Structure 1
Amino acid sequence: MIGFSTAPSTTVDSRGGTCMYSQIDTLRAQGPAVAAEFPEGFRAWVVTRGEVVRRLLPHPGVSRDLKKNVPGYEPGEVKWLSPWVDVESMSTAEGREHQRLRELVAPALTPERIDAMRPRLEEIAANLLDDLETRPPDEPLDLHTAYSQQLPTRLQCDLYGVPEDLRPEVLRILRVVLNTDNVPAEESAAVFTDMNVAMRTLIDLKRREPADDLTSFLLAARLDGEAPLSEQELVDMLFPLIGDGSQTTVSLIDHTVRELLANPDQLKTVLADPSRIDRENEEHIAFGAGPHFCPGARLARLAAHVAVPALFARFPDLALAVAPDEVRSPHSFIANDVAALPVVLRHRAVKAA
């Protein structure tokens, strides 16, 4: 047993996927904070109310540093958790140390810098859509793999200067990190080492050949009176920036497309006038809150703003190839995404013919 001694009232299924949503319903029914046991004996409180989360995230008594605050926790002991918590990064630091790390990264993610990325995003989207137009129009394809996943991943790898030959390894590591069920024990144990090796390879390359990318920027980043990023801090910071920055945006695009296709009346309204997206309550906490609010939130929104309209402009008759409730979720209780998004393109050139 790792964590608090309170007897858990429920056990979280490691398979995630569609059973994750039924588990969430069960947890919500038990109250605003529920003691739960996760795989490998890790115990934690699951907070199930948005208003409680809003109060907790900025609270000075709440910490993300598990190494210092979870009784009995030893780094590396919980394999699926290790890549997220056994690091020295903005995600785990608190107080002045968190502020230092965030201030070092902030100049790389200013609104002006992010807005300047729109042309590259539009170029990536256009190239991916060109590829899709070569596919048979009436044969199902996985939009998740062919489009939603590709656009944010290519952008993040471009931004951080990840060379082409290293990108497959970075994506493999990310898939293993997010999968909380059917990863062999030896692969799960090795992924933290693999992550370190991949990021050190990137850092070594940028030391030898600095370029106009964010890895080179972070290597040179300095604050008056503060130490620069150490080698380990840079290693620990890069993978979450690249991985989280791409995966969360992939999920945003996937879910947006799926929900629009599952609700054709709303899709028709939005295609006729995109300004009709008129959700009244925009104060969600998907990007966090308080000191740890996601520094890349603006970039995620920009990627979705480019990806979704471009997709429907090119393929206005796009349709799901399966029923909405048959879209599979991944084996993960960390990533809220789809395992695949089967669609039929029905592009206009064929329809007109």
Structure 2
Amino acid sequence: MVHESRPLVLDPTGSDIHAEAERVRGQGPATPVELPGGLVAWAISRQSLLKQLLTDPRVSKNPRLHWRAWNEGEVPSDWPLIAWVAVQNMFTAYGADHRRLRTLVSKAFTARRTAALRPRIEEICADLLDRLAATPPGRPVDLREGYAYPLPLRVIYELFGLTDEGLRARMSAFADSSFRTTTSPEEVAAASAEMDAIMEALVASKRERPGDDLTSGLIAVRSEEDSPLSERELCDTLALMLTAGHETTVNLLDNAVHALLTHPEQLAHVREGRASWEDVIEETLRHSAPVANLPLRYAVEDIELEDGVVLRKGDAILAAYAAAGRDPEIHGGDAAAFDVTRQIKSHLAFGHGVHLCVGAPLARLEAAIALPALFDRFPRLSLASGQDALEPMESFISNGHRALPVRLS
């Protein structure tokens, strides 16, 4: 059967991610939602169903092949989410094309390269904490701006081999804008042009001066005779690594610190050895997924779900990670509670199956270093404003705070 309810209109400002996720989940495991521009997708909010669809070969990420609205000309070039579907990299690839691109990226983004970043992550954390410690006593600081935000960005600069300060500043500004879901057509066009310019400049500089970095590694793959990696795919892959590798880690750190400061009994569990920092990281990913809703996937053919709902061939699918993370079917009646001692912390915050985030080990490594370093350095850390004063990111994709004001002591 076809779902009869009117689509639930997602709030592009992301004013209350979890309340909206609860409404989506309340409509059923698969429910139509309206995206900006009036386009409709199926939001999948039940964890077990989402996990199933993330591994189903009848679900694609390539709009050019499988999204009916795209092929019928209903998606304008200035659509606010266009960058999430129009890029040509492993994020939007399907089948053999995805395997080709992921294999090439994996050759450059190795476990060895990730592990080798540990000393630099520790040094960057120490430097950022020293800067925070220079704050006059009693003065609030924005922990997102001063710690959660610059850490993964500086790590990405290291990973990319990017030393040019001007290009770093442009890359930072682009990363800021890429997750907003309230952008105007003019802003969309400008962001797309800027992304192309940044990545082309980065590739040109590394072709001239290659090093032991991810950019040079991908260029080397691209330069091989009969290379299957196109220039467009090279630039779009670097853009993917920037956006996915930055915002998710920022929100993970932001949400973990916020949760611990608003739940002091949970922080006590960690300090007194009843829970580990790994427990904090996984419970944060479950409780407050850094990416609340991830666009988009598409039904390759009709898919009938358990409750009789049919995803029609060409329908769009939205992975509702924030809703799935608090699914009471998996996590019980207290699924909305933050509990680092929770026995079942299963989540899909980094995806699942062939599209599992290739940068997940790096994000976990950064958090495993940054969180204990922060709370060891500032054991009396506290929020500088009430919960109601915190403003969410202007997005139904990115799940974090615009600022996280704290007092260090």
Q: Normalized against structure 1, the TM-score is what?
A: 0.91
1:175-194 Cα distance to aligned partner (Å, 9 max, x none):
2221112x443122221111
| Partner SS for 1:44 | strand
The equivalent residue for 1:333 is 396
Given candidates 24, 27, 38, the residue that maps to 1:27 is 24
The residue type paired with residue 37 of structure 2 is E
Q: Distance in 2 between matches of 1:225 and 1:96?
A: 20
The equivalent residue for 1:166 is 167
Is the Cα contact below 8 Å between 2:222 and 2:231 reproduced in 1?
Answer: no
Q: Distance in 1 between matches of 2:109 and 2:345?
A: 22
Deviation (angstroms), 1:222: 6.5
The equivalent residue for 2:115 is 115
Identity of aligned residues (%): 40
Deviation (angstroms), 1:68: 2.2
Q: Distance in 2 between matches of 1:239 and 1:336?
A: 20
Q: Normalized against structure 2, the TM-score is what?
A: 0.79
Q: Distance in 2 between matches of 1:167 and 1:55?
A: 39
Q: Distance in 2 between matches of 1:209 and 1:16?
A: 42
Q: How many matched pairs?
A: 341
Is the Cα contact below 8 Å between 1:104 and 1:223 reproduced in 2?
Answer: no
The residue type paired with residue 11 of structure 1 is V
The residue type paired with residue 242 of structure 2 is I
The equivalent residue for 2:81 is 81
1:130-151 Cα distance to aligned partner (Å, 9 max, x none):
1001112311111000100010
Q: Distance in 1 between matches of 2:176 and 2:49?
A: 31
Moved more, 71-80 or 91-100: 71-80
The equivalent residue for 1:41 is 38
Deviation (angstroms), 1:337: 1.2
The equivalent residue for 2:234 is 234
The residue type paired with residue 177 of structure 1 is S
1:270-328 Cα distance to aligned partner (Å, 9 max, x none):
12337544442243111111110111111000000011001011101000112234322
1:116-136 Cα distance to aligned partner (Å, 9 max, x none):
211000000000001001112
| Partner SS for 2:79 | coil
Given candidates 287, 307, 310, the residue that maps to 2:370 is 307
Runs of 4+ in 1 over 6 A off after TM superposition: 4-7, 222-226
Structure-2 change in CA distance of 1:8 and 1:89 (3 Å)? farther
Q: Which runs of 5+ in 2 are unaligned?
A: 280-340
Moved more, 168-177 or 47-56: 168-177
The residue type paired with residue 128 of structure 1 is L
Structure-2 change in CA distance of 1:260 and 1:252 (3 Å)? same
Q: Report 1:1-353 matches (<5 A).
A: 8-18=6-16, 20-73=17-70, 74=73, 76-162=76-162, 163-181=164-182, 183-221=183-221, 227-273=227-273, 275-276=275-276, 277=279, 278-346=341-409
Q: Distance in 2 between matches of 1:98 and 1:234?
A: 14
Deviation (angstroms), 1:6: 7.9
Higher relative contact order (CA 8 A, sep 6+): 2
Deviation (angstroms), 1:67: 2.5
RMSD, matched Cα? 2.1
1:222-267 Cα distance to aligned partner (Å, 9 max, x none):
7999624211010111011112101101111111111011111221
| Partner SS for 2:126 | helix
The residue type paired with residue 324 of structure 1 is Q
| Partner SS for 1:256 | helix
The residue type paired with residue 171 of structure 1 is S
| Partner SS for 1:221 | helix
Q: Distance in 1 between matches of 2:371 and 2:79?
A: 35
The equivalent residue for 2:308 is none
The residue type paired with residue 377 of structure 2 is R
Q: Distance in 1 between matches of 2:275 and 2:5?
A: 50
Deviation (angstroms), 1:156: 0.7
Q: Distance in 1 between matches of 2:15 and 2:214?
A: 34
The residue type paired with residue 48 of structure 1 is S
Is the Cα contact below 8 Å between 1:47 and 1:53 reproduced in 2?
Answer: yes
Deviation (angstroms), 1:211: 1.3
Structure-2 change in CA distance of 1:33 and 1:226 (3 Å)? farther
Is the Cα contact below 8 Å between 1:157 and 1:242 reproduced in 2?
Answer: no
Q: Distance in 1 between matches of 2:365 and 2:108?
A: 16
Structure-2 change in CA distance of 1:111 and 1:280 (3 Å)? farther
Is the Cα contact below 8 Å between 2:178 and 2:243 reproduced in 1?
Answer: no
Q: Which runs of 5+ in 1 are unaligned?
A: 347-353
Is the Cα contact below 8 Å between 1:16 and 1:331 reproduced in 2?
Answer: yes
